[in-house]
Amino acid sequence: MGTLLLFVLVGTMAVGASAQNTTSQMGGPGGPPNHMRDPDGTVWINTDIITIMANREIPQFHFWYTADENGTNAKFMTSFVMIAEFEDLNEDGAFQRSEQLFFAPLAAFEWTLTTGIIQDGDVTTEVWLKYTKSGLRTTMMPDAEPAAFNGTGDYMRFEDTTIQIWGHIYLEDYTGEVTDDHGHHCNYTVAGGSELKIDIEIGNFPFSSEDSMVALQTLQRERVITGDQNPQMHRHRIETRERFHNTTIDSMMNWTTTSGNETRFESMNTTGIERMDFIDYDTGIAQGFFSWLDTAVITWPGGITEAVPVNVSYVPTGVGLAVYLTYPYFDNGSILHDPSIGLYPDGVPSIASPIDIVLVAGIGAVALLAILIVIVRKR
């Protein structure tokens, strides 16, 4: 009887586990991307690999593995924090704090977040979103990520600067190229279902001279949910992928100084795509990344296009890694540049399913009951 009871209960629990796993999946492997908007304006994009949460008030993306509920084990964030004009005094093509002329935190402006989809028949092949900078905020966002400089800066100077930040996630791999009026410059591929392609377009920038440049500050950081059983906040290191060496940066590092201590990123020679990885401390596995093309395209008045180099500098700030995308002079024109964020599908954390725990506990309880029945019978 005890053996029969054990078989019946285990069989029932196994069926229940199978049913729960089936209903919890959203679309299954290779399923089309989908999105939704919360009543407060927060936008969610989901595939079978990646979940992205877009802040409703400022260009900011949280992203994690869909299988890792709410990013409990691996959660990353990319924020667009500040725009600045600077003079390249050391002629390295990249931004350092001591070179800034004017700046404004992006949290000083209002942002509109819109979304849409592209379909092929009844199948969604792309989900897109777009942040559009608009007017000045009446008050600064109190919980905005820190910019390189304190305060509101010269926000009135940048009031009429236009900034659009798009995000695209595709069902299948997307192949693109960078071209201008002189021809082809590079190819790139965006991984379907696991990578968000970002387009940054800046126009009407108030250059003070032909020698000045633009810096757009981003902040790359990990954000891991903590709890009683998992108090560790930082689980990842950031590692740059550079030409001569890779720099490893811990989340708690802080290299900032009053005059600036930014390091110029040494671009690869042949790829056209640069990258920084989030790597799990314990396993050494790369899970998330921030990448960018090393070429942008200026559209001059009259529609003439010109490909130009994009240089990058970075510095750990104690809460993450400040990464500065720098663009050359484009007065009276606009510039378009493509970074991206994403996850490596093979890096998904090992996650114990709650149903497995229940199943094991149930089997143990039934086994104990069977033993007690045998003991009682012997007595």
pLDDT tens track for 166-178: 999 999 999 999 9
Report how far Cα 358 is from the mean position of its chain's Cα atoms. Answer: 34
Cα(264)–Cα(234) distance, integer angstroms = 25
| pLDDT of amino acid 150 | 82
pLDDT digits (tens, 9 = 90+) for 135-150: 999 887 767 777 888 8
Give the range of the structural domain holding residue 38, as residue numbers without chain letter: 31-348
Instruction: Determine contact, residues 24/353, Cβ cutoff 8 Å.
Output: no
DSSP 143-162: TPPPPSSSS-TTGGGGTT-E
CATH of residue 153: 2.70.98
pLDDT digits (tens, 9 = 90+) for 323-376: 999 999 999 999 999 999 999 999 998 875 544 444 445 555 555 555 555 555
| pLDDT of amino acid 365 | 58
The mean pLDDT value for 104-118 works out to 96
3-state secondary structure of 362: helix
Give the angle subtended at the CA of 220 by the CAs of 248 and 59, to the nearest 5°: 165
User: pTM of the predicted model, to two decimals?
Assistant: 0.83
Cα(71)–Cα(218) distance, integer angstroms = 21
The mean pLDDT value for 255-283 works out to 87
pLDDT grade for 152, boundaries at 50, 70 and 90:
confident
Same-domain status, 154 and 243? yes
Same-domain status, 127 and 6? no
Cα(50)–Cα(348) distance, integer angstroms = 10
Q: Which of 156, 96, 106, 168 is nearest to 133 (CA)?
A: 106
Same-domain status, 13 and 119? no
Helices 354-378 + 2-24 axis angle, to 10: 170
Same-domain status, 62 and 162? yes
Residue 26 has pLDDT above 50, yes or no: no
The mean pLDDT value for 180-191 works out to 96
Handedness of CA 33, 223, 60, 254 (dihedral sign): negative
Same-domain status, 299 and 373? no
Mean pLDDT in the chain? Answer: 85
230 DSSP assignment: B
3-state secondary structure of 8: helix
The mean pLDDT value for 278-289 works out to 94
Same-domain status, 11 and 94? no
Same-domain status, 134 and 215? yes
| pLDDT of amino acid 131 | 98
Phi/psi at 304 (5° precision): -70, 135
pLDDT grade for 10, boundaries at 50, 70 and 90:
very low
| pLDDT of amino acid 257 | 79
Largest CA distance in the chain: 98
User: Which own/partner pairs from 170-174 qualify as long-range (CB within 8 Å, at least 24 positions apart)?
Assistant: 170/33, 170/125, 170/126, 170/197, 171/32, 171/33, 171/123, 171/124, 171/125, 171/126, 172/125
Domain count, the chain: 2
Same-domain status, 79 and 219? yes
Task: Report the percent of the chain where pLDDT is more than 90.
Answer: 66
Cα(292)–Cα(338) distance, integer angstroms = 6
| pLDDT of amino acid 36 | 97
Same-domain status, 361 and 229? no
Cα(204)–Cα(333) distance, integer angstroms = 7
Instruction: Determine contact, residues 175/189, Cβ cutoff 8 Å.
Output: yes
pLDDT digits (tens, 9 = 90+) for 46-87: 999 999 999 999 999 999 999 999 998 899 999 999 999 999
| pLDDT of amino acid 185 | 94
| pLDDT of amino acid 220 | 95
Which residue do the tokens 């590692």 mark? 239
The mean pLDDT value for 242-251 works out to 88
The mean pLDDT value for 231-254 works out to 83
Same-domain status, 250 and 371? no
Instruction: Determine contact, residues 106/94, Cβ cutoff 8 Å.
Output: no
CB atoms within 10 A of CB 72: 16
| pLDDT of amino acid 252 | 81
Same-domain status, 364 and 235? no
5 sits in which H/E element:
helix 2-24
Same-domain status, 71 and 189? yes
